Amino acid sequence: MLLTKKNVNSRHIIGEENWQDLQRALVKLKPHYRSVIILRGLNELSIKETAEALRCSEGKVRVDFHRALQELKKDTNLKEGWESYE
């Protein structure tokens, strides 16, 4: 999935520098983690919808989303705005 600002809900639109940081950090993630972040975090799918899209369990989505967020937080300045998803 191509990640563009158009994919992101208005409450998640961030400055250009932070947007570029996010894209660089997403590329470093494992492919499954990246998919979970894009579907769950950016496209705002529910845990159930994300699990169905990725053909995995809801528990795996929860765990992988949490782990992916931890990695993103280490690699970027994005500390706020994602807490509501955890």
Residue 31 vs residues 1, 54, 64, 86: alpha-carbon distances, Å? 11, 11, 11, 19
Report the pLDDT averaged over residues 67-72.
90
Please tell me the predicted confidence (pLDDT) of residue 77. Answer: 65
Which tens digits make up the pLDDT trace of 17-64? Answer: 667 777 888 899 999 999 999 899 888 899 999 999 999 999 999 999
Closest CA to 68 of 38, 29, 27, 24: 29
Amino acid at 38: I
Task: Look at residue 73 and tell me whether its pLDDT is greater than 70.
Answer: yes
| CATH class of the domain defined by 30-78 | mainly alpha
